[in-house]
Structures are given as structure tokens and as C-alpha cells.
Structure 1
Amino acid sequence: MGQFLQFAFLGLAAGAIYSVLASSLVGIYAATGIINFAQGAIGLYSVYLVAALRTDGSLVLPIGTLSLGSEDDPTSMELALVLGVVSAVVWALLAHVLVFRPLRHAPVLAQVVASVGLMLFLQALVQLRFDTENLFAQSILPENTVEIAGAVVNVSDLILAGVAIAVSLLLWAYFRLTTLGVATRAGSEDELAARLSGYSPDRLAAIVWVISGAATGLIVVLASFTIGLTVTSYTFFVIPALAVALVGRLTSFGIACAAGLVLGAFQSVISWLATKTWWPEWAQAGLGDAVPFVIVVVALFLLGGRIPSRGSLGEVRMPAVRIPRIRVVPTVAIIAAVVIAILLTFGTWRFGVVTSVILTLIALSLVLLTGYLGQISLASMAFAGAAGFALSKLTTNWNVPFPFSMLFAALIATGLGVLVGVPALRIRGAQLAVVTLAAALAIQSFVFNNPAITAFEGNMIADPTLFGIDLGVRDGTNLVTLRFALMVLVVVAIATLVVLRFMGGSTGRAFLAVRSNERAAASVGINVAATKLLGFALSAFLAGIGGCLIGYSRGQLSAGSFTVMIGLTLLAMTYVGGITSFAGAVIAGIIGPLGVGYVFLTQTLSFGEYYELIAAGSLLLMAVMNPVGVAGAASEFGDRIRTLRHRREPEPQPGAPGAAQSAEAGAHV
């Protein structure tokens, strides 16, 4: 019992972070109606800022560095702590003013991708500006221990739990006992009424952003010595925080706080149990990270209908969709252009071309599911990775030949996609984004990074062969063979044409009807549940084919090929390109991770280290200023040009040759 309690108390540090982030998420949701996926990333900058100040006195700014000390005389702990908290407040205010306030009445999709973009931007900025490999957190809280019921407990863990409870009480008191807090709550129900009462929802929201930013910065800096410094950990602490916030229906600070502390303790106990000899081998890695996903799904299924939505001044709409039409000449021209690019390139550049072709297919899966069906999914690379690892098993252990191995692996990804899509039958919008992001992180931790599940035969993938022709990616020193590149193009072209045919037919119209209005779609005989599951199935199948092609291009898989961050980056690029069009998927493939755009930045401009920052920054700009993306903007510009031409054309006069021709044409019509 003593060991059980000891490990439960050891989880209080992580639990305190979950609790404070969850309380902050509840407060922000009450003030703005936005679920902020970047809340953990806001604290991430504070952690590394304090670590740098305590190491050599460097105050690292987004641009430039100020010296407030040296290695022999670093910044004092008190000043470093204050600056860390202030930095979190500044980032929170910037997020409110520059990102979320302009998107207050934007579609949920724009708010979600902007939040994801901010998360990617802050993480990329930290990796760019700080020496993340050599910075270490220093102790701030007391390091002594006390004994409770036979368990040796760190005093610092108890203090962190106390801070989490205090933050929760502070936010509860602000929203319940202060005039401004009550006005903020009223504004969440009826924004127009709040304005008529003389309160500015923007200013009320700014106050909540300040409080939540300060609380986030404080707790992560205090806990950093216990947790350690890792970039991705603090970024993804938002997933368990979202889980416990949803348990509290995004309204209860007390439930969110208590659930966060319990979840941290529970994860610590699971880590302890995993060391026992009787514990199953398959559950020794990543199970703790999968728990938040289960909590999210259960909470949303039980409470999804009772989670309040913010009142708005008007209706918002998703970006417009253009129905794809397969035309022979443009299709042949695109394929010919890719063939020429393959023939004219070699080495890293050809690898970039092939990768762009593969990423176009995965991006198309996002266009299909999110742009057409309106179901926000952040798990595309999880589906791709599931197919990739299944392909390794099929080709090395069971010797399944190409292309059947790829089809079977993609079907496994399809089953996973349907499973993840089941919650979409009850929820939508930002809540569905939470589910899919939690699912992606759970799959990455519990499946991809679990040696008991994925570590077989070194995750090797046998080269594809067809009718005795070797289609392998390598041939001696040749990085990408011409045969492999053309095989990828053929597979992607076939899959793309098939899915475009679906999108342009009755299936696509059903998708658009469900996206527009689910009740109206059901009233005209469309099976909404089946349509949603079909969308997840088709999207996962496309992503699975892409994952198999990635596997073939590598020859040996690792979890690093299918991380959540890569998936989010590809989503960012798809949104930048245009989330509702095939052209957007093509643009996303070109500028996606390791694609042609990435090779250009790395090889030609030597800007490879700035890639993630540029990607996230582009996403933020697009989400705020141009929600339809590059492809949508180009289409709108073309429409305007055609409209102007039509207006400038003089109407034919009666009796003129043109008039006679027009009359004749009209008669034929």
C-alpha cells in the first residue's frame, strides 16, 4: 500500500499541470467559446525561458537576446520566475489579439486549425531559439520529503497540487463572485446582451487570457524540475488537460482540477504496475498516454450533448467547395508534368518529388473528410502509420505480394479510421478534433512506440515486385529508382481519380449535405451515420495507401515517420493550400514535410531549420486572413476576372451579325 501511495503522489506534479491547463481551458472556453489546443505550448516557452535565464542569464526573445547575467552569475530564481510568467501572459494576449479575436465568428474549422497552428508555431520557435538539448530545469520548490501513510512524499509535489487547487478556486471565484466574471459568463450565453449592457466581450476575454496565461506559466515553471525539459511533452500536456476539462463539461473548474490530479496519479500508478512481472508485455509502454483518449471518448459520449456552446452574433459557414470534375486534358497534363519532374530529377530532388506525390494523397484524405464532410480530423498520419506498420508485418512475416499487401494494410487502416470515427456519430466540430488528436497521440504512444506491438524484424518492408519486375526504391547508390517513382505515381493517380469520382458523384453530394446541415440531410433520406463512417473509412483508406507508399520509400519504418506533429504539419499545409479542393491537396503535397518545397528550402535556400516555423506561420495567416487557402483564393480571383470580362463585353445591336449569331445559338439551345 505504501508503494501504491508513493507512486500516486509522484503523479501529482503532472496532475497539477493537467489541472491548471484544464482550468485555463474551461475559462477560455467560457470567455470565447474556443478550445485552445495551444495552451500547453504557451507554457512551453516559459519553461525554456526560465531555464536559459538560470543557466547563463540569457533572456531569449523571439528575435534577439538580452543578457541579464552570466554562467557564473545567472539571473536570480525570483526574477526568472516572474519573467517566465510574464512571457506566458504576453503569448496568451498575443494569441487573443492576433489570432482568436479575428476568428471569433469564423467557422469552427478555422478556429481549430488556427489553434493547432499556434501550437506548431510556438514549438518550432522554442526549438529554433533555445538550445533544447543542453538546457536543464533547476529546482525552485523545496526538495525535502514527508511521510504520509507509509509513503515518502515530496513536499514539492504537494505544493504543486496546492497551486493547482488555488488556481481552480481563483478562476471559480472570478467567474462567480466578480462583476466582470459574471458578465463574461453572461456573454458566453448571449453575446449581444453583454454588448448592450456595456461590456466588451473582447476585453472580458482578454482578462481571462491573462489569468490563464499567468497560471499556465507559473505551474509549468514550478513543475519543470520534476517533469524535466522536453519540447513535445509540454505541448501535448494539453491532451490529458482537454480530457479532464471535458469531464467537467468545459464548465466546472472543480471537477476539471480534481480529475486532473487523479489522472496524473493514475498514470504514475500504471507506470509502476508496468514494472511488475505479471503485467502483460503488450501494455508496458504507452498505456498511460492512451488513458486520456479513453476518457475523452467516454466523456463526450456521455456528456457531448450537454456541453454548452457559446452564443454568437451570427451564423458562420465553412469555406466554399468546388465540385471536382475529371477532365481528360488537365488530368493528362498534370500526370505528364509529374513524369517530367521525375525524369529530370535524381537523388534528393527525386525523393522530394515522390514524397510530394505521396503527401498529396494523404492531404486528399483530409480534403475528403474535413473539407467535404466537415468532420475535423487530426489523425491522418496515425492512419498512415497503422497501414505502414501493418505492411511491414504482411511483407516480412507473411510474404503477401504487392499490391495485395498494400491493399490489406490500407484496409487495416480503414478499420482503425471507422473506430476513431464512431464518436463523430455523437459529436462534431472542435470536440471531434479533440477526439482525433487524442486518438493520434494514443496510437503513436501505445502502438508505434510500443516494442511489443511494432518491433518485429526491425520493421523492414520487402521491396514491391510485379510480374517479376523489381519496383524497389533503391538500386545501389540510386536513392530513388525510376521504376519506383513511376509506380508511386500510378498508384496515387488511380486512387486520386477514384476518390475524385466519388466526390463528384452522389457520394460527394451526400457528404456536402451532411456538412451543410445534418438534420436537413436526414430529412431527404441521407443516412447521416453511415455517411460519416463512410467518410472516415475512405479517408483512412487513402491515408493508409499513402502510409504504405511511405513505407516502401523508406524500406524500414520507424515511429518518427508518422508522428502527430508531422500529421498536424500536413494538416496545416492542406489548409494553406485549400482544405476544400483537390488543388489544395496538390499544394499541400508540394510544400509538405520532405516534399519538393522542403527540399528547396533545405538544398537551395538553406532554410530547412525554419521550415516548421514557416509552415505554422503560413497557417496562422491563412486561418485569419484567407480561410479558403491558396487554391480557393486563385479560384475566386479567376471568377472575378471572368465576371469583369463578361461585364465589359458589349451587347450585340439588333441587326448586327453578332445578334443574328446569338439568336441562332439561342434557337439551338
Structure 2
Amino acid sequence: MTELLQFAILGLGAGSAYALLAHGVVLVYRGSGVVNFAQGAMAMVAAYVCLETFQREQGWSFLTSFVVAVLVVAGIGFLFHQLVLRWLATAAPIVRLAATLGLLVILQAGVQQFYGSKSTRVRSFLPNDVYHWGDIVVQQDRLILLGIAVATTVALWAATRFTRVGLAITAASENERATAALGWSPQRLAALTWTVGGGLAGAAGILVAPLTGLTPTAFVVIVTVSSLAAALLGGFRSFPLTLLGGLLLGVGESVVVLYQDDIRDLLGMQTLTGINRAVPFLVILVVLVVRGKGLPLRSHVTDRLPRLGTGRIVWPAAIVAVVVIGVVVGSGGDWLRSLTATFAAAVFLLSIVVLSGFAGQLSLAQYTVGGLGALVAARLIGQAGWPLIPAALVAIVGVILVGVLFALPALRTRGVNLAVVTLGLGFTIQEMVFNNPTFTGDKVQGAVRIDSVSLLGFDVSAAHHPERWALLCLFVLVACALMVANLRRSRTGRRLIAVRTNERAAASLGISVFAVKIYAFALAAGLAAAAGILLGLRNIAVTYFEFNVFASINAVVQAVSGGLGYVLGAVIGGLLAPGALLSRLFEGGATSGAVSTLIGGVVLIVILLTNQNGIADMLSRVGGAVERRFRRHRPRHSYVHDLQEVRDFDLDPVPPRGLALRDLTVRFGGVTAVDGVSLEVAPGQVVGLIGPNGAGKTTVIDAVTGFVAPERGQVLLGEVDVIEWSAARRSRAGMRRSFQSLELFEDIKVAENIHAGADDAPWWTWLTDLIRPGRHRFSATASAAVVDFELEDDLDAMPGELAYGRRRLVGIARAVAAGPSVVLLDEPAAGLDEVESRELADGIRMLADRRRAAVLLVEHDMDLVMSTCDRIVVLEGGRVIADGIPEEVAADERVRVAYLGTHDDSEMTGVTP
């Protein structure tokens, strides 16, 4: 017990510093809504400034050095907000997050360029006397650090709770518009929090440096992962919980070191490294899994991600690129080696295009995943003597399984939280696997020697035949690029994009969000493994220092700069990688890659400020303008050509399944939103569900379709109770819905929205779409939906280009494109003019009369309800107060009082059904 307490006390110092750093993260998030991934890099800058001015005998006192260093970093935070983030205030969160990653790589690469990669020992800035408490030694500097952390926590808590500025910051984190209406500028508040948050980062960096040492890469990653874990424990809002989280992390890391040998013996390993660094990741993982949700709530705001390419292959440009590459391959030498690195980096970035560009899942561990592929292949080739192809296949399949494990947290979280967990997982693998000789295969050098690489009987090793290895890398890049381009144009690609754009809407169309995320992570892991093999085996001795977390972060920077949604963007971003062609151009024979990394960070910031969609998007726009000029008299393919000619008698009635609710009850905390609702909708019948705002109508639809879990009750589809089914499974069984807020897939055309609602692809298309995506005509039911709602002229348009009324019709057509048995329409006439409302009424009656679908209609347009519905159910306060034919409901005095607030029935009896 004494030893345990001793190690726990040792961990208090690091835990206090983690808490200080995390307080800056929390403050910045509360003020600007941005999680600052550059907090660790800012702390590093302050530590080096203090090191230079105080420890290296510049004649400054520690207090002066401390204040100057803190002010420098506070200034960096202020300038970054004013020069970058204030212009990205309306950008998607992934764009603002990428901006902080750009700041991280700029600061890290700048320090590395000046100080190199060596570790610097920092002497303690605080008194280091000790006290004895029985057999336990208590260091004075640990107590001082704890006191500073506690005092800072109290000050921040009190400032944000009791001061006008603090209350304004808290209000801005909840609602920027309301705060602005009260006279506070959200941008000024954000600038203030970035300045103070930067100062906290500086103070924490100076105080933690003596405990960890200073290395431009390791220091940044260690403090970033730990501080983000502490901030996550505090929910990015609570300063006291963040302090507690930081202390628990510091103590946990220290205690794990105490029991490291026991853990090693338990696992049956000869060596075990970095186990203490796994503590933050495990904390992150547990918190996210416990707090996470399978699907976002109705209040979730859909974020627009960078624009997507079409996936269309431009063969002339590809031919020109191959010719240029052929010239470089023929030149040989160092340029050939840089070209090989460019090819490998481009394949890495293709994995990010699939995962983040197409599926919207942000990972900060792709290079680490690729390093696992290099490790397995190197050991099979270098030690077991396997040929390249079987070794690569085994490595890729193994890493795909790891990718599936990476996907599991994504099933419960998304966005920045997912970035945090993948960062922690990547760092854990780096520390526990790549630094462990048990896994790397060489206990002396930590590397595996590759004497030869056999491919179909030929030696293609980079050491002996660099031109052959370069051509192999080119072949793999082209093959992977074609697969990713095919994926973009395929049915599988539409599923990925649907999930990226709106998980709720995707699930409502029968798309399994879980399956899509697992597929995206698995495919991205396979691509990363291929890239890792290409990058790792280009050396005669395979080492793993280049597969670190920072390389993964830098890869995201390169992918966003090149164009996150474009295959071409991966190739452009690959040019910015360390050791690639631009690195050779700017750094010559240097191997650190610091200059190219620095340039990459600057390029990213410029790209985000000028065109958030990347360089490939700019080239695509220029190319499109040129193509339109020369193709003026050659009409391009239109999706109208994919429509089938469908007559009424060609459409079979849908499977006759009705909808029945039995005692459906939904509660949110102590509020009962739906209270014992029972109703039935028979096949071929339209039932209206009406009531005042807040009556629970949309909550009924959410509960019926699987987006809200009821407390009790039954939802019967035909004779089957589907209350335990997921939203996607209910949709596939024939239950579809529209959304009050539309929730269209804004990143793809109207035709692709309709296709997404009608696609019914077998499981093997997940694989075949990578090779042969094909072009599929609209199904008969989808064609009928397009024609019935007169959307033929809108198929080639993006949803955002349409008027609101047309957009709403697209949402309804998408919901009925697969010919569902039950259709739930949530205020479909909102925003429609009188003509469009009449057309909508005809369309609804056609669904019931000709297709025999059961339709539940939630609507405030009483003319539409009274003229369309066979029966009407009225809700008030979550309860049914009336149920009958339109004439009976219109005559019910309770309905007139509850719904119209009047005893005058003229508004409800003016129209007969």
C-alpha cells in the first residue's frame, strides 16, 4: 500500500499539468465551439521559449521567462483566432478542426526545424524539496503543481459562473444568436477564450516539461492525448470534472508503471512498453462508449462537409500523368525514391478519402494502421521468407480486422469525439507495439532486414531494383485510385455518402449505419495497410518511426489540402508528404521532412481560407468550365434517361401491411411526450395525426420508425411487433418516413437522393462495386415517384439549387421510392404553395388508392388534412383526445378548443373529405 501511495503521489504532478492544459481546451471549446488539437503544440512552444530564456543562461529570471512564454503562446492563440478561425465561423466542424491541425503541424515543424528531433532534459522550475509522511516521500513540486491546478480550476469555475463575461461565454456556447441579441459579440468572446486558453497551454507546457522532457514530436502527442482525455471526462464543459479527470489520468499512468511487470507476466510477454500511455486511451474509449448514442437525436444539426468529386475518370489527364511519372522513373536516384514515397503517401490519403471524404468518419490513426500492415508483411517476408503477394494479402486482411475494431467506437460516437478516440488508439499502438521488440521482431535494432522481395519470381526490392519498386507502387496507386473512384459512383458509395451527410435519414431508408461505418473503416484500413507495405518495404531495414501519430495527423492535413472528397485530392496531397516530391524540391537530401510539413500546414490554412474543398476542387471547377466550353453542343448524360416508362397497371400493389400502435408511451426524463397513444392505419387508408405544436406528433413518428425508444407499448407492422427493431430494419421491412426538417443528402444530386431511397443491393455489392460499379436505372416504383411528383426536370440538380417546395417533394419522393407498405409523412405540405399542395394531396391519395399503402399524415394544413384523410386522430399533450372521420372530428368541441383555441368550427368544416 505504501508503494501504491508513493506512485500515486508521483502522478499528481503530471495529472495537475494535464488538467491545466485541458482547462484551456475546455475554455476554448466553450467560447468558440472548436476543440483545439494544437493545445499540446502551443504548450511545447512555451516550454521551448522558457528553456531558451531561462535554463540556457540568457540572464532572465524564471518569473520573467514564464510570463514572456505564456504571453507568446496567448498571442499565438489570439492571432490564430483573428486571422483564421473568425473567417471559418460558418464552416463545417471538420474544417475548423483541420485548421487546428494545421496550426499543430506548423508549430511542431517549426520547432523541429530549429531544435531537431533530439530529446532535451529540462530541470525543474519549481522547488524540489521533499517531505516525509511516514515511509512516503512527498515532493514539494508535486504539491505546488496540485495547488496551481486547484486554484486555476476554482478561478475558471467562478469566472464563468459569476462574472458577466463568464456568463456570456457560457451563453455563447449554448446559443450564439441569443448571446449576440443581448449585445455580446460571439467572435470577441471566442478571441478572449483562445487567448486565455493559449496562456493556460503555455503555463501547463512549462510546468510539465521537467516531468516528460522535451521532444518536438513525443511531447506534443503525449500532452495532447492526455489533455483531450481529461477534457473529455469533463464533457468539454465542467472545470471541476476536468481537474478530476486530469488527476485520475496522471495517477493512473503512474500506478500502471508500478504494476507493469505484473501486467507483462499476466500477458505472457517478455517485454511490455508504453502500457502507461494506454491509460488515456482506455479512459477515452470507456467514456465515449458509455456516453455515446447509436444515432444522433432530432436536434442534431447536419454539418456540411467538403464537396465531393464525381468519381468520373478523366483518362487524358491520367495518361499525361503516367508519361510524366515515366520520365521521373527513368531518371532514377533520389528523385525516384521521393516519387516512391509520393505514391505510398497518396494511397494513405485514399484511405482518408474513403473514410472521411465519403463516409464522414474522422480518424487520426491511419499511418499507425498502415504501420501494422508494414510490420506483418516485413516479418513474413524478411523472417519467414514469404513472397510479396501472400505476405501482403495476410497483412492486409489482418489490418482490416484491426480496422473493424477501430470502427466499434464509431458506432457510438462521431465527429470530434471520434477523432479523439482514434488519436488515443493510434498513440497506444505506437507506444505498445512499434516500440516493443517482441512485436517488431528484432530485439537489438527494433527492425527487420529485407534482403529481397519476390513478386512472381522477380526480385522487386527497393534496395536492389528501385525502379521496379517504384513501378509496383505506381501500379498499386492506380489500382487503389480506380477502386475508390468506382466506389464513389456505385450504390455502395451512395450508402457511405448518405451516412456521411445524415445518419438519421440514411437509417430511415433502410441503410445500416453500423454496417456502413464498419465497411468504411475496414476498407480504409485495407488501403492504409497497402500503403504501409509500400512505404515500409522501400527500406532495407523496416523501422516504424514514420508510422507515428503525428504522421497520421499530418496526413489529414494533406488530405484536406488536396481535396478530401476527391480521388485526385489524394494524389495532390501526397506531394506534400515528408520525403515526397515537394519535400525533395524544398529540402534536398534532408530526412526530417520538417520543411515540407511546415509548408503543408501553411498550405492547409491558405486552402481553408480560400476554398475549403481543396486544390482538387479548384482544378475540377476549372476543368469543368473548359469542358463545358468545348462540349457546348454535346449534351452530357442526364439522369432523366434512367427513368423507366411505368404505367399504373405496371406497378404491383405493395405488400398489405397495416400499422397499429398499442399504448405507446415516450418519456424524456421527467417529461411525458407521448402518453398511451393507440391508433391504427389500414392498407389503402390515409390517417391524419393533428394537434397543436408540442402535442407529440413528431415524437410519435420518431418512436414508430425507431429513432426514439418508447418506455412501453407496441408498434405492429402487420402482425409483427417491431418495437425492438432498429430504424434501418423497420425501413427494410416496408416502413418509410419523411422528415419535418427535410434532411436531404445535400452533397449528391436529386437523382442520387432518389436512388438512395430505392437501392436494394445484395451484400456482395460491397465488394463488386469496387471493381464494376455499373450504372443502374431507376426502379419502377422510383420512376413512378419521380413522375408523380413531377421531378423529372430536377434530377440533375443539387438539392440546394431547388426552391423549398421542390426540396420537400424530393424528400417525399425519396421516402416512397422503394414502394413501402407504410408511409409516415411529417408535415409534408410545409412551405408548399396552393398548387403544390393540391399535387401533394393527389400523390398521397395515389399511394393509398392505387398502391394500397398505409399512410399516416402529420400536417397543420387543415384543407389538405380534411380533403385527403379517411380518418383523423387528434393529440393534445401527448394523449389522443379524438379519433374519427373528418366530419366527426371537425364537430368535436374538444378539438376546436385544443387545436384552434376557438369554439368557431368554420375553419374545420369548410372542407369535406
If the TM-score is normalised by the length of the shorter chain, which range does it land in? 0.7 to 0.9
1:326 aligns with 2:313: yes
Choose 607-616 or 552-561, whichever is displaced more: 607-616
Instruction: State which of 231, 236, 253 in structure 2 corresponds to 1:250.
Output: 236
Q: Is contact 1:360–1:589 with CA below 8 Å preserved after alignment?
A: yes
Deviation at 1:136, TM superposition (A): 4.7
Q: Identity of paired residues, percent? A: 32
Please give the per-residue CA displacement for 1:336-395, whole angstroms capped at 9, x wherever unaligned.
43233212x211111111221121111111111111111111111011100000112222
Choose 623-632 or 633-642, whichever is displaced more: 633-642
Deviation at 1:316, TM superposition (A): 4.6
Structure 1 residues 191-340: aligned runs within 5 Å: 191-236=176-221, 237-275=223-261, 278=265, 280=267, 281=269, 284-305=272-293, 316-326=303-313, 328-340=315-327
1:408 aligns with 2:394: yes
AA paired with 1:35?
V
CA distance in 2, matches of 1:308, 1:76: 52
AA paired with 1:460?
R
CA distance in 1, matches of 2:126, 2:332: 56
Deviation at 1:130, TM superposition (A): 4.5
Deviation at 1:151, TM superposition (A): 1.0
CA distance in 2, matches of 1:119, 1:591: 16
Instruction: State which of 155, 168, 172 in structure 2 corresponds to 1:183.
Output: 168
Instruction: State which of 444, 448, 452 in structure 1 corresponds to 2:430.
Output: 444
CA distance in 1, matches of 2:537, 2:84: 39
AA paired with 1:594?
G
Please give the per-residue CA displacement for 1:492-521, whole angstroms capped at 9, x wherever unaligned.
322322232222211111111111111111
AA paired with 1:602?
E
AA paired with 1:383?
V
Structure 1 residues 518-557: aligned runs within 5 Å: 518-557=503-542
Deviation at 1:523, TM superposition (A): 1.7
* SS of residue matched to 2:198: helix
AA paired with 2:214?
L
Deviation at 1:48, TM superposition (A): 0.7
AA paired with 1:553?
R
Q: Find the counterpart in structure 1 of residue 7 from structure 2.
A: 7
Q: Is contact 1:391–1:461 with CA below 8 Å preserved after alignment?
A: no
1:27 aligns with 2:27: yes
CA distance in 2, matches of 1:353, 1:232: 25
Structure 1 residues 39-438: aligned runs within 5 Å: 39-56=39-56, 70=58, 74-130=59-115, 133=118, 136-236=121-221, 237-275=223-261, 278=265, 280=267, 281=269, 284-305=272-293, 316-326=303-313, 328-343=315-330, 345-438=331-424
AA paired with 1:13?
G
Deviation at 1:468, TM superposition (A): 2.2
CA distance in 2, matches of 1:226, 1:497: 49
Structure richer in helix, relative to its length: 1
Bigger radius of gyration among the two: 2
Please give the per-residue CA displacement for 1:455-511, whole angstroms capped at 9, x wherever unaligned.
348423453223322112122xxxx53222222222332232223222221111111
CA distance in 2, matches of 1:282, 1:517: 48
Deviation at 1:170, TM superposition (A): 1.3
Deviation at 1:34, TM superposition (A): 0.8
AA paired with 1:7?
F
* SS of residue matched to 2:565: coil
* SS of residue matched to 1:217: helix
Instruction: State which of 444, 463, 466 in structure 2 corresponds to 1:474.
Output: 463
CA distance in 1, matches of 2:229, 2:270: 24
CA distance in 2, matches of 1:405, 1:470: 15
Q: Which has the higher contact order (CA 8 A, sep 6+)?
A: 1
AA paired with 2:153?
S
CA distance in 2, matches of 1:192, 1:393: 58
1:504 aligns with 2:489: yes
Structure 1 residues 149 and 118, CA gap change in structure 2 (3 angstroms): farther
Structure 1 residues 175 and 472, CA gap change in structure 2 (3 angstroms): same
The aligned length equals: 627
Q: Is contact 2:233–2:287 with CA below 8 Å preserved after alignment?
A: yes
Choose 15-24 or 604-613, whichever is displaced more: 604-613
CA distance in 1, matches of 2:118, 2:375: 30
Choose 297-306 or 548-557, whichever is displaced more: 297-306
* SS of residue matched to 2:132: strand
Deviation at 1:35, TM superposition (A): 0.7
AA paired with 1:370?
S
CA distance in 1, matches of 2:396, 2:119: 41
AA paired with 2:211?
T
Structure 1 residues 490 and 128, CA gap change in structure 2 (3 angstroms): closer
Q: Is contact 2:361–2:418 with CA below 8 Å preserved after alignment?
A: yes
Structure 1 residues 467 and 494, CA gap change in structure 2 (3 angstroms): same
Please give the per-residue CA displacement for 1:408-465, whole angstroms capped at 9, x wherever unaligned.
1011111111111111112111111111111111111111112222234842345322
Choose 137-146 or 29-38, whichever is displaced more: 137-146
* SS of residue matched to 1:473: coil
Question: Please, what is the CA RMSD of the aligned residues?
Answer: 2.8
Q: Which residues of structure 2 form unaligned runs of 5+?
A: 635-913
Structure 1 residues 609 and 187, CA gap change in structure 2 (3 angstroms): closer
CA distance in 2, matches of 1:335, 1:384: 25
Please give the per-residue CA displacement for 1:31-70, whole angstroms capped at 9, x wherever unaligned.
111111111111111111111111456xxxxxxxxxxxx4
Structure 1 residues 145 and 572, CA gap change in structure 2 (3 angstroms): same
Deviation at 1:224, TM superposition (A): 2.7
1:574 aligns with 2:559: yes
* SS of residue matched to 1:11: helix
Q: Find the counterpart in structure 2 of residue 664 from structure 1.
A: none
Structure 1 residues 34 and 539, CA gap change in structure 2 (3 angstroms): same
1:614 aligns with 2:599: yes
Q: Is contact 1:392–1:462 with CA below 8 Å preserved after alignment?
A: no
Q: Is contact 1:195–1:201 with CA below 8 Å preserved after alignment?
A: yes
CA distance in 2, matches of 1:273, 1:512: 46
Q: Is contact 2:358–2:500 with CA below 8 Å preserved after alignment?
A: yes
Choose 165-174 or 496-505, whichever is displaced more: 496-505
Deviation at 1:103, TM superposition (A): 1.9
Structure 1 residues 350 and 642, CA gap change in structure 2 (3 angstroms): closer
* SS of residue matched to 2:91: coil
Q: Is contact 2:271–2:437 with CA below 8 Å preserved after alignment?
A: no
Q: Is contact 2:294–2:413 with CA below 8 Å preserved after alignment?
A: no
AA paired with 2:11?
G
AA paired with 1:360?
A
CA distance in 1, matches of 2:359, 2:142: 46
Q: Is contact 1:51–1:135 with CA below 8 Å preserved after alignment?
A: no
Choose 398-407 or 44-53, whichever is displaced more: 398-407
Deviation at 1:173, TM superposition (A): 0.9
Q: Find the counterpart in structure 2 of residue 593 from structure 1.
A: 578
CA distance in 1, matches of 2:584, 2:593: 8
Structure richer in strand, relative to its length: 2
* SS of residue matched to 1:153: strand
AA paired with 1:9?
I
Structure 1 residues 80 and 604, CA gap change in structure 2 (3 angstroms): closer
AA paired with 1:558?
T
CA distance in 2, matches of 1:608, 1:398: 33
Choose 433-442 or 461-470, whichever is displaced more: 461-470
AA paired with 2:273?
A
CA distance in 1, matches of 2:532, 2:197: 39
Deviation at 1:264, TM superposition (A): 0.6
CA distance in 2, matches of 1:587, 1:447: 31
